[in-house]
Amino acid sequence: MNTNQIKKFACEARNILKRGIAAKITTLGFDAKGNVAESMMPQLMQGGSLWKGELQTEGFYRQWMALYHRVQQKGIQEVYEEAAYTWFNRLMAIRIMQKNGLCEPVLVYTNSARTPRIVDEARMNRMPQMPEETRTHLMELLDDDTKVTEQFALLISAWCHANPIMQACFGTLADYTELLLPQNILAEGGFVDMINHTEFITDEDFHSPELIGWLYQFYISERKDEVFAKKGKFEADEIPAATQIFTPNWIVKYMVQNTVGRIFLDNNPGPNPFKDKWQYLVDQEKQAGENIYRYNELTDLKVADLACGSGHILNECFDILYDLYIYEGYTRNEAIENIFAHNLTGIDLDNRAKQLATFALMIKACQKDSSFVDAHVLPHVLTMPKPLDEEADDSVTRIIHELFQGAETKQITEEIESAFKLMKDADSLGSIMKFDISESTLFALVQAVDYWKKQSFVPQLVQDSIPAMELILTLTQKYSALVMNPPYMGGGNMNSELSKYVKDNYEEGKADLFSVFMLLAIDKLQENGKYGMINMHSWMFLSSFEKLRKALLDNYSIDNMLHLGPRTFDELSGEVVQNTAFVISKQMPNHCASYFRLVVGKNCADKVTYVYLTPSKATKSIIQTYLKRILRRFRDA
């Protein structure tokens, strides 16, 4: 995979889309600051609307007003960003589905005039399902060959809503998004033209689970540069861009194989049936029975990434779990359904990342079994819930009353109200939120959520609250294994809400967000569970992490570690941090760990050539002594 080419494509696409959207929003009456003259406001009329002296549909009025309110709420620059990544994600997702044989080539041009196939089909009266009002408007547009872009906007929006995977992963398009489809989207050199004729992404790339992750990282790379250029503290909407970095594939395999894979082998002694496939599995001395994490059925093996980004680690976890199910005699369909329903969980602060992670897992499922193209089962990937209307003081009380159908107790009400109060800052805190909720309340909440999921009619208030309730349940669960590349953010960059919460709840790890996640991982693990992580190696040396080191060395076991040093990440990521990857078991220190010094190498690809996973006892002893001296430097001070 040529990441240099993919970066060029993603950055160029973002800029083309943003320029097109900026031009389009100007034609809708907005100036560069998002202001609108009174004369440019549409007027609602019986049976339609009036704008710039021309009759429009009532739907246009609703979309325009939704756009106006969004600009007033978020600012025009943020609206540019939202609309650009919305169209980028959806159109790229359609192209990926097409390349994987999961949909018709609706974006392909059918003639030299660059008419997309979806428009050509509509002219022959073959079109996706859509509301009758939209269909009527489309039929009017189809009579005018100069309005191909408007036809395409209506058709591709309807197609996204009608396609099960697109609808399940990306949801309904915001009312105003259709209005902001760039006028030049179909022009020569426009985004659809780029998709159809790009040489930046090969057919092989389109079948790779890594593609989505690289596209996401490179798409937001310029946004990341903008955030860091301003210096100072990061606002909530800047945290995703500031902390996103794509993990090299071999390091992901190392972490997954030595957590999920090792747990499986501990429970199934004997020859490793996956020896040829798990090339990054570190040899480990046999553990005493009381130090092994035990599970009864594969469905009990709970695995999570609580900072999942676009889902690269989740995809690797899916692969290893799928192999385990097939090995134990499950069908492909049963394996995938169990993984999504019982085994795998992802959470991310950024809704864009959550959408892409869900999509990546669905593509993975469809590659294994095409019956999942109808999205009848979805992976368990969550993001932060939308904040409640703060003006409605009784909204949480009403939600609880509706959710529990009036059977809530005082304790249930108080504990869930406290959780909702904390979630007001969810866009800054993300997965590090700690909910103080009793077992009895959690049990009642599980029953209530399960009940409503089985109902054909769910009150809107309850429906809107389910994502928040699921997040509470997910962040109060204990896991068998966690695998993460957590966000890196020093205390000086944390905004006031994040900084205070970290100091109050993760004092030993307050120096950086990655060290907060080290404490979070231990807290979320079941006894004898394992977590794999890659983060900055500063926690091994600096005095600001001394308490963290002491707590780790005194209370838990390091299974193995790759001291990666500089140049761990692809040079295109722009990251210059020095890293370490490791696996830790939630048990008292009881065995010798394996350490690999991989600080050499000009880049990440070089480092992997130095990984030898069966070191001699003498070599192992030397490396282990070296690292223990480093780790104890401040412990014994």
The single-letter DSSP state of residue 427 is H
Structural domain contains residue 452: yes
Structural domain contains residue 200: yes
Answer yes or no: are the C-beta atoms of 383 and 349 closer than 8 Å.
yes
Distance of alpha carbon 516 from alpha carbon 380, whole angstroms: 24
Same domain, 136 and 237: yes
| pLDDT tens-place string over residues 550-598 | 999 999 999 999 988 877 775 544 556 788 999 999 999 887 888 888 8
User: Is residue 105 packed enough to be buried (19+ CB in 10 Å), middle (13-18) or exposed (0-12)?
Assistant: middle
Same domain, 471 and 572: no
Final residue before a domain boundary, out of 177, 211, 243? 243
Structural domain contains residue 399: yes
- The pTM of the full predicted model, rounded to 2 decimals, is 0.89
* Confidence band, pLDDT 50/70/90 cuts, at residue 631: low
**What CATH number does residue 561 fall under?**
3.40.50.150
| Number of C-beta neighbours around residue 291 at 10 A | 16
Same domain, 539 and 617: yes
Same domain, 181 and 221: yes
Number of domains in the chain: 3
Structural domain contains residue 372: no
Same domain, 488 and 466: no
Structural domain contains residue 260: no
Q: How far is CA 189 from CA 26, 156, 193, in A?
A: 21, 19, 6
| Number of C-beta neighbours around residue 108 at 10 A | 16
Same domain, 18 and 78: yes
The angle subtended at Cα 171 by Cα 169 and Cα 175, nearest 5°, is 155
Amino acid at 132: E
| pLDDT tens-place string over residues 358-375 | 999 999 999 999 999 999
Same domain, 432 and 570: no
Q: Could you tell me the residue range of the domain that residue 413 belongs to?
A: 395-475
Same domain, 457 and 577: no
Structural domain contains residue 285: no
Percent of the chain with pLDDT over 90: 60
| pLDDT tens-place string over residues 178-225 | 889 888 899 888 999 999 887 889 999 999 878 888 888 888 877 766
Query: Residue 213: what pLDDT?
Result: 83
Pairing mode, if any, of strands 594-597 and 557-565?
parallel
Same domain, 436 and 576: no
Structural domain contains residue 378: no
Final residue before a domain boundary, out of 434, 458, 475? 475
| pLDDT tens-place string over residues 546-558 | 999 999 999 999 9
Same domain, 489 and 575: yes
Structural domain contains residue 336: no
Same domain, 135 and 66: yes
| pLDDT tens-place string over residues 283-315 | 887 887 888 999 999 999 999 999 999 899 999
Same domain, 489 and 401: no
Final residue before a domain boundary, out of 458, 475, 492? 475
